[in-house]
Amino acid sequence: MDKLYNMINTSFPTYSVLFHEGNCFTLLESILFHRDCVECLDEAGTDLIDYSVRCLVELVSNNDSNQDEDETQNMPEAKKEILENMEETKATLGLKALSVLRYLTDNMSVLSLGMLSRLVTTHDVPVLLCQTLECRPWVKDGNIWRDGQWEPVDKSGNS
């Protein structure tokens, strides 16, 4: 991977891919709000569940890990930008994955047996959600994630 970073002179192509991945997932998040769309997923929903769980696991596991500033000081500027964009995109995708999983579980009555099995048996989503509640990834540096963006929290606790 380091060899790839050394060959990249600009971060735009990588950022473009990450940006479009975020846009696609935002579209999925929006349409899955409706029960009919969840019902139409059929067996393709298992791939969506796998992807959502992977994004949420990355969010929960990377919540406390930060790179040392010594490592980033010696990096080329393009590599720094790529890493910053990747970190930001992964956080956004993880929080959107939480919404997607919520919409899926809100409509469990229309999910296929394979999708239910994937949620409960394969990925053990209830335990993952408990871990997510413990690490609170929607609160970061005095900001709270609301309506797809970070907003500052009032000192009084009201946001």
For 99-136, what is each residue's pLDDT tens digit? 999 999 999 999 999 999 999 999 999 999 999 999 99
**DSSP-based three-state secondary structure for 5:** helix
Q: Using only the alpha carbons of the chain, give its radius of gyration.
A: 18
What does each C-alpha distance from 3 to 6, 79, 115, 121, 135 come to in angstroms? Answer: 5, 11, 39, 39, 34
Cα–Cα distance, 31 to 24 (Å, whole number)? 11
Q: What pTM, to 2 d.p., does this model score?
A: 0.81
Mean pLDDT of 41-63: 91
CA distance linking residue 58 with residue 126, whole number of Å: 16
> Apex CA 55: angle with CA 54 and CA 60, to 5°?
95
Q: What is the mean pLDDT of residues 65-70?
A: 56
Distances (CA, A) of 21 to 11, 18, 104, 109, 136: 16, 5, 20, 29, 23
3-state secondary structure of 144: strand
Alpha helices (runs of H) in 8-76, residue ranges in sequence order: 12-31, 35-40, 45-61, 69-73
53: nearest Cα among 102, 89, 17, 107:
102
Q: Which residues are paired to 145 by β-bridges?
A: 150
Q: Which of residues 156 and 62 earns the better pLDDT score?
A: 62
